[in-house]
Amino acid sequence: KDIEKNMPWLVKTVCDIMDAHPNESGVIHSGSYDLGNRLLYRLPKPKQRRIHVYKGTEEKMETLRSFVEKPGNILMGPSLLEGLDLKDEKSRLQIFLKVPYPNLGDRYVSEKMKHSKGWYGWKTCTSILQGIGRSVRSEEDWAVTYFLDGCLTDLITKSSDNFPDEFLQRIIIKED
């Protein structure tokens, strides 16, 4: 509900992250096409040129091919939590604009929540770990991951049992 109010902060923060990783490729998990587009068109042109976006499933594979051609590119989209193998230098950077909560308007989600109290938190934690796994593909692989949504703190507080200890021990909270 506060996306527009927070947009200047989001733009500045994404610019700062991109500046800190000028030659590294990565992924921005936008959560929705709308949020990704709102961000993209507010970024300065040089930052926009690094970001590769797609509009649907057909475009996704072509965009992925062009993304991996040049180091320093960033792939942005709402459906990048599964099905990508961005090992090693293909992705050293990840930004989650929002915590990937399941859509409460989906009938399946609402039915699952009625029958399984902890399912919603578990599913969200699983989606986060899946998303991180797009860039970290082996024990030797690594990526720096940024969460720009304060809801992650709430999720960890309520669902920490759903995260491995290794994940929880690596979190660094930065205040503005």
What are the pLDDT digits (tens) for 58-94?
Answer: 788 888 888 888 889 999 998 888 888 888 889 999 9
71 versus 143: the higher-pLDDT residue is: 143
38 versus 80: the higher-pLDDT residue is: 38
10 versus 3: the higher-pLDDT residue is: 10
Local confidence band at 129 (pLDDT 50, 70, 90 cut-offs): very high
CA distance 123 to 115: 14
According to the model, what pLDDT value does residue 75 have? 92
> Is pLDDT above 80 for 55?
yes
CA distance 66 to 155: 35
- Burial profile 99-110: b = 16 or more Cβ within 10 angstroms, e = fewer: bbbbeeeeeebe
Mean pLDDT of the chain: 90
Residue among 27, 20, 133, 147 nearest 77 (CA): 27
> Is pLDDT above 80 for 147?
yes
| Candidate ranges 8-17, 60-69, 100-109, 155-164; pick with highest mean pLDDT | 8-17
Predicted TM-score (pTM) of this structure: 0.91
According to the model, what pLDDT value does residue 1 have? 65
